[in-house]
Structure 1
Amino acid sequence: MKPLLIFVALLALAGCAQVPPVTATQPEKTPVSTDIMSFTIPPDALGARDPQLTAVLAKVGTLAAAQKQPTTILVTALGQDLPYLNQAIWRGVPAQHAVKLNLDNLTAGANQPYSVSIKPTP
């Protein structure tokens, strides 16, 4: 009988223990990207002024110009590479669509990758 009393006492004590409240957790929301397109430029392609890179950059200009809303192209690279990148992008932009485009440059930091993105102008 004594083991039964000990078991009942332990069970009663366990029932009094604080149980953390159950809360419904919301899954973390990932930021929604408004980018129409974005890619990283391989440093070796940029250094070699690769013709394929030049063609892709011209297509970026064409894609940005084809958007119905005003669009911003953001180019991130070293300052010395920005003129080449900008020129390659503008080659793909038809003259009549140049008005609704913004081409913004951002100088890359030491460990920052070179990139190009197209997004709606806020």
Structure 2
Amino acid sequence: MKLAYTIVTIALSVSFLVFGIAKLLRVPAMRNLAEHVNFSVNSYVLIGMLELAAAAGLLIGFAYRPLGIAAAGGLFLLMLGAIVVLVRNGDKPKDWAPALVFGVLSAATAGLAIAA
């Protein structure tokens, strides 16, 4: 159980570090996504900050488990929000599937953190 928790947590942390940095740096792909869902670039930067905070929380969770659980729960809620926004925007399942996958991984991370 502990190995699975470690692997999933590191993978999720690295992913959201990359996503968060991309939003903070306002890379063109992130600006395009913000425009696609009618968000301001500044709103996307704030989402990037949340992603970075959650990634850090996941990693700190190795030392203080409650923070890791809270960070995973926060990412789950963030991905749920992303799915809602994309569905309301009329996007197809293939467009919101990545948010679904990361939401499931976030929930799995929280569950594994509790069980480990």
**Higher fraction of strand:** 1
User: Could you tell me the TM-score, scaled by structure 1's length?
Assistant: 0.30
User: Greater Rg, structure 1 or structure 2?
Assistant: 1
The one of the two structures with greater contact order (alpha-carbon pairs below 8 A, sep at least 6) is 1
**Higher fraction of helix:** 2
